[in-house]
Amino acid sequence: MLLTPEHIEQHPTQPLETPHYAGFWVRLKAALIDSVLILLVIGPILTVLYGAQYWDRGTPLVQGAWDIILNYIFPAIAVVVFWLYKSATPGKIFMHLSIVDAKTGQKPTTKQFIGRYAAYYVSILPLGAGLIWVAFDPKKQAWHDKLAGTLVLFTPINQEK
């Protein structure tokens, strides 16, 4: 019951039977939206805690415990919580995307979501090759999707969570 962008324009309430996989560019847009939102939340806090010099290039990579909490732990928790409740981050919601279990098409388990987040590092570390893989994969799966057994699909407008 998934829609292509063209079908949404022509028949906004009629679902299709075949899945419409989310490709590289739409997923990149969703990731950029999420990154901006995270920066809008943590940027001012980091500036208050560490001063404007926090943003200088010559500063150490990690400046303290709050730096680690706000840059790594908070985003991880926020992303997994959004996945658990909405099967998408705000960027994916805005782009009408949803994460589903690759075998059932249903909402993934908590274990899959946590594994998916951890597997992002596998996708990112080899120069982002696991993220770019979406452009070449028939089901548009990144390496973290393959490892977690998930897909990112276009969500029908009338079925968004």
| Predicted structure pTM score | 0.81
Helix (H) or strand (E) holding 100: strand 97-101
Q: How many CB atoms lie within 10 A of CB 25?
A: 11
Average pLDDT over residues 112-136: 95
Determine the Cα–Cα distance for residues 39 and 157; give it in Å rounded to an integer.
28
Backbone angles phi, psi at 91, to 5 degrees: -65, -40
Contact 1, 159 (CB under 8 A): yes
Tens digits of residue pLDDT in 61-84: 788 899 999 999 999 999 999 999
54 has pLDDT over 80: yes
What Å distances lie between residue 106 and 22, 80, 100, 139, 153, CA to CA? Answer: 16, 17, 5, 16, 11
4 has pLDDT over 80: no
Task: Check residue 26 and give its pLDDT.
Answer: 97
127 has pLDDT over 50: yes
135 has pLDDT over 60: yes
Length of the chain: 161
9 has pLDDT over 70: no
Q: Where are the alpha helices (DSSP H) in the chain?
A: 5-10, 24-50, 65-68, 74-86, 90-94, 110-124, 129-132, 143-148
